[in-house]
Structure 1
């Protein structure tokens, strides 16, 4: 069979640097370190399994739209907040007019200024932007644990539904006061915190090993796509309508997605109502020996795992830059580069469009290097992670020295975020390399640490940019770049591409 021939070829091409072991997680051959691959049942030939309109790809598409909504609901405040603030407030020092001249790349149109304005100073704005992550950090690990117990469908669905419902209440909360808005955003974070671990848990039952990269890339790419669409769309809504409609529109669409999610997807192939027998058998046969049989989690071994801490440091470092730009890029565009709300949204979206494109391209390149050029897993992870972290750091620093050359600034910021797409084939998938059975839990652990930058990054950045000068923003970029470079070096030294011994179940060790 084609699958058996490919598997044997990969085993025979293993190198002394862990080539045999580190190919196994990508191909799904085994988790135990045993070379008796004939004991694992081979999947049905791919040619006999439908792809178009299949249940697993329907799940990927629904997940894509789900993560699209997840990030649309998360980042819309970044654009709306610019229009919510009273720029003439005596409580906020505003010197943006002294930095750069105002630019316009599109014809001027009447601006709807009927939305309410609030006298929130820079510190208050920082807390508003960072409050989401105070809730988000609390439900990462519990979300991964609960998804393993009750399934990911309802957990992910209600996580997004709760965020959408609270988004509809955002204008009311803002009118009541900054503290109410902070509370609502923190509750939204609680709902969204379970979503990524829940989706990982669902894919552990749905994604055949040889299709895992494609399915996961398709579903998680929705996050970048949501950022790309929501930033300019939020700017348009603010410009032509009222900032409150940003929350009403996105919140309503999120509720509609939740209703579709309930009726279209299932936790596992076994309980799906419309899946074909051939597809069900294909998925179940390929995953038969992929899931751990252990009843308990090796907590102590996980805590002591150096390769896991390499992912933690890289994830934390990458997210510092990512979240800083995600929450503050619209403000930088408005206060320093002097773009209006309409232009602000489009230009703020450019970096994430580049990242979305590179996420898909670099995933294909990484798989080609592994399968055709015989690069080891650890080598591929380190190469792509280094490019995906040091590259953005260098261009971020360069953006801080462009002054009022807005074209060059936008180009450098776009290149910075675009190169970050390389890291998806670096630390981001490394959970599956070192512990396939616990990938969801490990994601919850690393994402818990990686949420801290979202909590403190905006607050620190806002506290450093009271006067909105180029020099102050350079300090913000220096901090982000330094953290990114440190994370890249740490991962390059301590990362691994092989399955760790603590991730192997006792049952499979006995069989080996």
Structure 2
């Protein structure tokens, strides 16, 4: 493990690097709301198909009564919001298209961000995603194929934005503050999920479903203005940073590479077990997290027999815990490091263990407490909350083992996570289609087994020192 910098800390929460973390928090908030917005809006977009059948008879009666009592202006808004005849199979293709788009750009965008600079790469991804969000209602009117294309390109843009962040932190985050800064930035995704689930339905009801896309697309455009104005790739080039903070950041990173390499040592990476430990951690983590994000409303509705409106509110609660645990976990990890209470690898393995073991225990317990409403809700809240403790474990471990390739490796890591999400979603749908009760039990048991595999693998091979192939060699300078 590299020696800790002896330079005294500069300005803390008033410093520029924490301002950058807040802007990244806002950026992640924006991207996740743009990604999840269709999941909320599609309920109204295919409303005519949703209202068919005896199961929804009471809902239909209530809807008719509500329409009769609405003002004329509200009727005009509702009339302008189109309704589409999209089958469940078509909806599934639309939902999955953004994940395929993200996979397509995770690795190449991470590599290019390390060479060309993350500011423009990340900002461009955020801008494209925001503009496509604004264009989504018009695309829906023009045809479902265009919606699928829009979502795929939007996924490619967000893939660029997600991975470029770690290139910036490799140059901005002092080693003793990495967990804290990345957790502040990363918690924006959990907070965004909570907000869109809470207000998306209200926006659709009050203004019409297109305004979900208009509002969050516009927020993204505002975020782009902040991004291109405040964010810089390197603290050395930032016009507003104080001399004291600049010196602190630079001196704390003196033992790490400061210049990008033009070639990536692929063979060395493939043979590096510490990297594979990170990849397996991502695979395990995303397996269960994707199930919770995708199927949580379904589970609450089918197992707890909660109506749709309450199900949406309950589905948003776990993301409060997730956002809180991300920030608190980062604070605790940096506290343990700054006080020399634990070594860097001990901290990474501790939080990886908590983030994989605790949600597994909660998931295994769920089938046995299904009869208890309150206990089930508590466990469902704890699963994503405790899972996000991994943010201070293997999720930022690439900054320790290969900081100069952090963005490229983060792209690969998230690729493993997205593959796990696709497999776990498909497997979950198959298992619960066979038998609901035993299917959910098998889903949670399988998720716990996958988490335990990832935990054992990371515990065995995980490291926190810079690998030889990732160190700068003085003789390579031309």
Report TM bin, short chain: 0.7 to 0.9
Q: Which has the higher helix share?
A: 2
Q: Deviations over 1:74-131 (max 9, x none)?
A: 22223333444447569x999799xxxxxxxxxx998989454444444333322221
Write the mapping of 1:16-35 to structure 2, written as runs, cut at 5 A: 21=1, 24=3, 27=4, 29=5
Q: Is the 8 A contact 1:123 1:463 kept in 2?
A: no
Q: Deviations over 1:457-482 (max 9, x none)?
A: 43443455558944444444344333
Q: Is the 8 A contact 1:337 1:406 kept in 2?
A: yes
Write the mapping of 1:21-420 to structure 2, written as runs, cut at 5 A: 21=1, 24=3, 27=4, 29=5, 43=7, 45-46=8-9, 49-51=10-12, 53-86=14-47, 114=78, 115-291=81-257, 294-372=261-339, 374-403=341-370, 405-420=372-387
Name the SS for the 1:285 alignment partner.
Answer: helix
Q: Is the 8 A contact 2:114 2:404 kept in 1?
A: no
Q: Is the 8 A contact 1:123 1:459 kept in 2?
A: no
Supply the distance in 1 between the matched residues of 2:142 and 2:302 (Cα, whole angstroms).
26
TM-score w.r.t. length of structure 2? 0.85
Gap runs ≥5 in structure 2: 58-65
Q: Deviations over 1:270-297 (max 9, x none)?
A: 3323333333333333334422555532
TM-score w.r.t. length of structure 1? 0.80
RMSD: 3.3
Supply the distance in 1 between the matched residues of 2:104 and 2:336 (Cα, whole angstroms).
37
Q: Equivalent residue for 1:497?
A: 464
Supply the distance in 2 between the matched residues of 1:94 and 1:300 (Cα, whole angstroms).
60
Q: Is the 8 A contact 1:133 1:454 kept in 2?
A: no
Question: Do the aligned partners of residues 366 and 55 (structure 1) sit closer, same or farther apart at CA in structure 2, a change above 3 Å counting?
Answer: closer
Offset of 1:251 from its aligned partner? 0.9
Q: Deviations over 1:150-200 (max 9, x none)?
A: 211111111111111111222233344443322221111100101232111
Task: Name which of 447, 452, 458 aligns with 1:480.
Answer: 447
Supply the distance in 1 between the matched residues of 2:180 and 2:50 (Cα, whole angstroms).
50
Q: Is the 8 A contact 1:238 1:341 kept in 2?
A: no
Offset of 1:213 from its aligned partner? 2.8
Task: Name which of 405, 412, 434 aligns with 1:445.
Answer: 412
Offset of 1:509 from its aligned partner? 12
Offset of 1:249 from its aligned partner? 1.1
Gap runs ≥5 in structure 1: 1-20, 30-41, 98-107
Supply the distance in 2 between the matched residues of 1:475 and 1:240 (Cα, whole angstroms).
40
Question: Do the aligned partners of residues 81 and 96 (structure 1) sit closer, same or farther apart at CA in structure 2, a change above 3 Å counting?
Answer: same
If asked which structure has higher relative contact order (CA below 8 Å, sep 6+), I would say 1
Question: Do the aligned partners of residues 301 and 210 (structure 1) sit closer, same or farther apart at CA in structure 2, a change above 3 Å counting?
Answer: same
Supply the distance in 2 between the matched residues of 1:312 and 1:288 (Cα, whole angstroms).
28
Supply the distance in 2 between the matched residues of 1:177 and 1:406 (Cα, whole angstroms).
42
Question: Do the aligned partners of residues 504 and 177 (structure 1) sit closer, same or farther apart at CA in structure 2, a change above 3 Å counting?
Answer: same
Q: Is the 8 A contact 1:95 1:467 kept in 2?
A: no
Question: Do the aligned partners of residues 135 and 76 (structure 1) sit closer, same or farther apart at CA in structure 2, a change above 3 Å counting?
Answer: same
Question: Do the aligned partners of residues 286 and 426 (structure 1) sit closer, same or farther apart at CA in structure 2, a change above 3 Å counting?
Answer: closer
